[in-house]
């Protein structure tokens, strides 16, 4: 059995730094099963003349332990209490950070809103397509390079199951289902087997537009696109159409807007040309109308297609397309104001 002195030293030196240690202290010296308590049971085995002294010493130790326990306990309670008084319970809670919309969604919505305001309806369709809707119905020649495995992702190497390379497939799907007048825009994700660089990605987004009715003219297209450019980039923006080629439009054009940064004077953004290319467009080729069951003698139409990443990069002046796919919150947060 430990000596009375040893137990006294233990009681005095026991390190009580936290609630667990306090409880352990209680178990060691104050609980019924503690060594100290069991020593009370030994009293009867002690010579009668020594019993009184022994009992007194045990009681002393017990009181000492009890006192130390109480002291430490109230110290701890006081510490917790002072923590509580430091905390200001009336302080408003910290804001839960608000998310922001992804810049691609913001731009998609803007484009969509502009066209919806002049009577276009948004339609969507499958990302996984077939050759007919992406190429053949759109007048792509059999040996057109866009069909090549270099550009197109084929699913399971099956030549008729592929990821759409442009949203023009939705022109076909719309015209197959619906007779003119047709006025739709088609937002969507597109896929091309391209090396990922700061300017190109294998996934990106397009908005396709299609207007087919009686007597739709090139002038209608020009006016529609001017309206779009001015709402998107500001009322002073001018447009310019340059001749181009797409299998599904004839004639075809590429549209530039006058540089909205320098107003056409020449700057880095427009590479000192005063113009920035923003979309492809043209009059729907009669072959395409016929392929979709629309009478090309009676109806004509125009179509256009624009790249959302490109528009977003131009509008928000970012220089790396990969930023839109990395989803780094520090990048995305900068579009909070544009979300509201
Ligand atoms: N589909 C074309 C592309 O991905 C974009 C395009 C150009 C769409 C001209 C059109 C158009 O509807 O008329 O590059």
| Residue nearest to ligand 1 atom 3, measured at CA | 166
For residues 304 and 157, membership in a common domain is answered with yes
- pLDDT per residue as tens digits for the range 94-148: 888 778 889 999 999 999 999 999 999 999 999 999 999 999 999 998 888 777 7
Q: Is 246 in the pocket of ligand 1 (CB under 6 A)?
A: yes
Check residue 147 and give its pLDDT. Answer: 77
Residue 149: is its pLDDT beyond 70? no
Q: Is 280 in the pocket of ligand 1 (CB under 6 A)?
A: yes
Q: Is 249 in the pocket of ligand 1 (CB under 6 A)?
A: yes
Residue 150: is its pLDDT beyond 70? no
The answer to whether the bond into 203 is cis (omega within 30° of 0) is no
Q: Judge whether 309 and 324 are in contact, CB under 8 Å.
A: yes
Asked whether residue 96 is assigned to any structural domain, the reply reads: no
% the chain with pLDDT above 70: 97
Which atom of ligand 1 is least distant from the CA of 284?
A: 13
For residues 140 and 223, membership in a common domain is answered with yes
% the chain with pLDDT above 90: 59
Instruction: Among 166, 193, 311, name the best residue to mutate to test ligand 1's pocket (greatest count of ligand atoms within 8 A of Cβ).
Output: 166
Say which residue, 156 or 41, is predicted with more confidence: 41
- pLDDT per residue as tens digits for the range 237-257: 999 999 999 999 999 999 999
| Residue nearest to ligand 1 atom 13, measured at CA | 281
- pLDDT per residue as tens digits for the range 192-212: 998 999 888 999 999 999 999
Q: Is 303 in the pocket of ligand 1 (CB under 6 A)?
A: yes
User: Residue 9 sits in which domain range?
Assistant: 4-85
Which atom of ligand 1 is least distant from the CA of 168?
A: 1
Q: Is 304 in the pocket of ligand 1 (CB under 6 A)?
A: yes
| Residue nearest to ligand 1 atom 4, measured at CA | 166
Check residue 68 and give its pLDDT. Answer: 92
Instruction: Among 170, 246, 252, name the best residue to mutate to test ligand 1's pocket (greatest count of ligand atoms within 8 A of Cβ).
Output: 246
Query: What token pair was written down for 82?
Result: 């002072």
Residue 1: is its pLDDT beyond 70? no
The helix (run of H) or strand (run of E) holding residue 258 is strand 249-258
Asked whether residue 98 is assigned to any structural domain, the reply reads: no
Helices 103-116 and 308-316, axial angle in degrees (round to 10): 100
Q: What average pLDDT does the chain have?
A: 90
Q: Is 305 in the pocket of ligand 1 (CB under 6 A)?
A: yes
Q: Total domain count for the chain? A: 2
Average pLDDT over residues 166-178: 97
- pLDDT per residue as tens digits for the range 278-297: 999 999 999 999 999 999 99
Say which residue, 249 or 151, is predicted with more confidence: 249
For residues 184 and 254, membership in a common domain is answered with yes
Check residue 339 and give its pLDDT. Answer: 61
Question: Which of 209, 165, 173 minimizes the C-alpha distance to 301?
Answer: 209
For residues 242 and 281, membership in a common domain is answered with yes
For residues 180 and 233, membership in a common domain is answered with yes
For residues 70 and 202, membership in a common domain is answered with no
Residue 220: is its pLDDT beyond 90? yes
Which atom of ligand 1 is least distant from the CA of 166?
A: 4
Q: Which residues contact 26 (CB under 8 A, 6 or more apart)?
A: 69
Asked whether residue 279 is assigned to any structural domain, the reply reads: yes
At 340, is the pLDDT very low, low, confident or very high (cuts 50, 70, 90)?
Answer: low
């Amino acid at each position: 059995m430990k000596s009375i002195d040893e137990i006294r030293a233990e009681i005095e030196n026991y390190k009580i730094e936290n609630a667990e240690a306090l409880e352990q202290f209680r178990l060691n010296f104050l609980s019924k099963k503690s060594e100290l308590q069991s020593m009370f049971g030994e009293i009867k085995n002690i010579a009668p003349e020594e019993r009184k002294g022994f009992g007194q010493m045990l009681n002393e130790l017990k009181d000492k332990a009890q006192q130390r326990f109480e002291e430490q306990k109230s110290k701890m309670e006081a510490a917790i209490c002072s923590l509580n008084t430091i905390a200001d319970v009336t302080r408003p809670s910290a804001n839960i950070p608000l998310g922001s919309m992804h810049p691609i969604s913001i731009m998609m919505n803007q484009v969509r809103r502009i066209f919806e305001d002049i009577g276009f309806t948004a339609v969507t369709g499958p990302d996984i397509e077939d050759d007919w809707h992406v190429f053949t119905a759109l007048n792509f020649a059999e040996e057109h390079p866009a069909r090549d495995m270099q550009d197109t992702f084929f699913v399971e190497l099956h030549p008729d199951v592929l990821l759409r390379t442009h949203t023009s497939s939705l022109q076909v799907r719309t015209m197959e289902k619906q007779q003119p007048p047709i006025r739709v825009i088609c937002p969507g994700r597109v896929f091309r087997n391209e090396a990922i660089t700061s300017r190109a990605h294998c996934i990106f987004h397009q908005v396709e537009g299609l207007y087919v009715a009686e007597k739709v003219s090139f002038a209608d297209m020009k006016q529609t696109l001017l309206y779009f450019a001015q709402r998107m980039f500001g009322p002073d923006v001018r447009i310019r159409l340059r001749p181009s080629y797409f299998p599904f439009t004839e004639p075809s054009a590429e549209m530039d807007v006058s540089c909205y940064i320098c107003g056409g004077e020449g700057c880095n953004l427009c590479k000192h040309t005063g113009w920035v290319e923003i979309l492809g467009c043209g009059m729907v080729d009669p072959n395409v109308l016929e392929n979709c069951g629309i009478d090309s003698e009676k109806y004509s139409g125009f179509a256009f297609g624009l790249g959302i990443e490109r528009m977003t990069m131009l509008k928000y002046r970012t220089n790396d397309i990969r930023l839109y796919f990395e989803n780094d919150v520090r990048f995305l947060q900068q579009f909070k104001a544009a979300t509201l």
